[in-house]
Structure 1
Amino acid sequence: IILMCPAPRYSLEQQAEMINQAAVNVIEKSSLLDFKMTAIAKQAGLSVGSLYKYVQTKEDVIMALACDMFEHFHGVATQIYQQPLTMPQKMMSFMLLSPEKSQKYSFDLDLEILATSEPVLRRSSARWKAQMLAFEDKMESLCQSKTRECFESGDYLGDDETEIQQLSVGNWAMSMGFKQIRNHQGFMNEHCQLGKESVICQLSQHSIKAMMHFLNAYPWKHPLTEAGIEETKNSLQQLGLR
């Protein structure tokens, strides 16, 4: 008599989606620092054994969610780059995104910081580190191709293509830095009851001005203007990102 093993109830792709969604639910009820693997398995309706076939450690859970987050952001960036805007407007777009409309998860920024930290990378599985690097390469390739197009089209008036690549790195660094500062101020205001909503509003306005000055320090065919920023905001609203 040949005994046939029963077919699995869910495909590997379905299990991955179930585990990721369960992890999000568990983390939102606890935090990125103290969630339990058993709680994720219970929330997903899977055995702990099935869970550990997908992620072996809590660090793997963080990396798995971060990979989904980076894939989502790649889609957002692709949408922005496809808009009929100048390159300075597209670069400014990343400063103008509404977090609640453009994020994958409510804890995106904390997740990115944690997933790229040395302790998490050291303890995560090789599989997830490889996936993280693949997504970073994918995002870098997108940005490099768009800056090259900008240089070749004449939108950028400089003679050295490396300048616009440097500008792209600066744009990314400033965008991330301002997001972290705004996030910090928001949580301090919420949890410490500072009553500084006006400070957060001013911070956002100052960030936009600072980015505008940074971008316009480079030679563009169409430098960024106040009217151009408003046009960029309207474009993001049409995409549902603001």
Structure 2
Amino acid sequence: MPRPRRPVTAPRKLPSQARSTQLVADILKAAVRVLEREGALRFTTTRVAEAAGVSVGSIYQYFPNKHAILFRLQVDEWERTSAALAAILGDDRLPPARRLRAMMRAFFVSEREEAPLRAALDVALPSYDEAPESRAVRARGRRILRAFVAAAAPHATPRQRSFGAELVVAAMSAIGKQLSERRPSDAEIRRWADAIADMLTGYLAGLAPRPRRARQRG
């Protein structure tokens, strides 16, 4: 049985001049407003055009349908979050503990601020976990996290470091989702971020090869 085709998400063309670049930026800003105001089910290119103050034809120059607009918003969100966290974790001027605290705070704030957009995108879009853009973001994140864990757990085995990286991601995702649903204050975010970061820092710092057990002579 053939697999269902995904909606077309590739842009019709890329903006090449400052004017067209600004038009695409205006369209995307309007799309966010429509998505947050109207919700995923009422999101249309017509509403985006009205919010942006342009014709529907202008939108179709760059986006073949509403799915292409939504996917671009998703990719942009991935890129923003990934770049921000990478800059923090990759700052080797700071000790790992401070980097992890700063990264957790930034991530939890991002989860809170962009919760409405993420929720709407989850409803509006099919799963794009296997899209090239998604795979590229995940691969880049894994490389950065592996480098960070290597610095935070210098005596760990490769297997321990791999699990440590998975643990950091799992903690970020689970706690971040809970906090985004509650819309916490900055103080509450700092409390959670620092507690999670301190626990993970302690865990990573304690990783080391386990001594082999001596064989018992019978």
TM-score by length of 2: 0.65
Q: How does 1:74-93 map to 2 (within 5 A)?
A: 74-83=82-91, 84-93=93-102
Distance in structure 1 (CA, Å) of the matches to 2:181 and 2:64? 31
Distance in structure 2 (CA, Å) of the matches to 1:14 and 1:26? 18
Match of 1:148 in 2: 147
Task: Give the fraction of aligned pairs with identical amino acids, expressed as a percent.
Answer: 15
**2:132 pairs with 1:158:** no
Which one of 120, 123, 126 corresponds to residue 121 of structure 1? 126
CA contact (8 A) 1:32 1:111 kept: no
Q: How does 1:159-174 map to 2 (within 5 A)?
A: 159-174=156-171
Which one of 100, 103, 109 corresponds to residue 94 of structure 1? 103
Distance in structure 1 (CA, Å) of the matches to 2:18 and 2:54? 10
Match of 1:177 in 2: 174
- CA drift of 1:204 comes to 6.2
Unaligned ranges ≥5, structure 1: 1-7, 123-128, 188-196, 222-242
- CA drift of 1:214 comes to 3.4
Q: CA RMSD in A?
A: 3.8
- The one-letter code matched in structure 2 to 1:48 is V
Unaligned ranges ≥5, structure 2: 1-15, 208-218
Match of 1:192 in 2: none
**2:198 pairs with 1:212:** yes
- CA drift of 1:17 comes to 1.5
- The 1:149/1:169 distance shift into structure 2, 3 A limit, reads closer
Distance in structure 2 (CA, Å) of the matches to 1:181 and 1:50? 39
CA contact (8 A) 1:148 1:161 kept: no
Match of 2:67 in 1: 59
Match of 1:125 in 2: none
- The 1:42/1:137 distance shift into structure 2, 3 A limit, reads same
Q: Which SS does the other structure have where 2:42 is aligned?
A: coil
Q: Say how many residue pairs are matched.
A: 191
- CA drift of 1:203 comes to 8.0
- The one-letter code matched in structure 1 to 2:84 is V
CA contact (8 A) 1:55 1:61 kept: yes
CA contact (8 A) 1:26 1:40 kept: yes
- The 1:203/1:50 distance shift into structure 2, 3 A limit, reads closer
C-alpha distance after superposition, 1:36-88 (max 9, x if no partner): 32121122233213323433443333211111111211221232134322234
Q: Which SS does the other structure have where 2:198 is aligned?
A: helix
CA contact (8 A) 1:91 1:171 kept: no
